[in-house]
Amino acid sequence: MMEHATFAAGCFWGVETSFRALPGVADAAVGYTGGSLANPTYQDVCTDRTGHAEAIQITFDPSKISYDQLLDHFWQMHDPTTPNRQGPDFGTQYRSAIFFHTPEQEKAARASRERWQARFRQPIVTEIVPATTFYRAEEYHQRYLEKKGLSSCHL
With respect to residue 33, please indicate whether it lies within any of the assigned structural domains: yes
Q: Which amino acid is at 87?
A: G
With respect to residue 155, please indicate whether it lies within any of the assigned structural domains: no
User: What percentage of the chain reaches a pLDDT higher than 70?
Assistant: 97
With respect to residue 154, please indicate whether it lies within any of the assigned structural domains: no
Helix (H, G, I), strand (E, B) or coil at 96: strand
Per residue in 103-140, pLDDT tens? 999 999 999 999 999 999 999 999 999 999 999 999 98
pLDDT of residue 91: 87
- Tally the domains of the chain: 1
Catalytically annotated residue among 5, 8, 9, 11: 11
* Domain containing residue 140: 3-148
**Could you tell me the pTM of the whole model?**
0.94
- Strand ranges in the chain using DSSP code E only, listed in sequence order: 3-9, 25-33, 53-60, 85-86, 89-90, 96-100, 127-130, 135-136
Q: Supply the CATH number for residue 36's domain.
A: 3.30.1060.10
Is 46 assigned a catalytic role?
Answer: no
With respect to residue 10, please indicate whether it lies within any of the assigned structural domains: yes
CB neighbourhood size of 113 (10 A) = 16
Residue 155 clears pLDDT 50, i.e. is over it: no
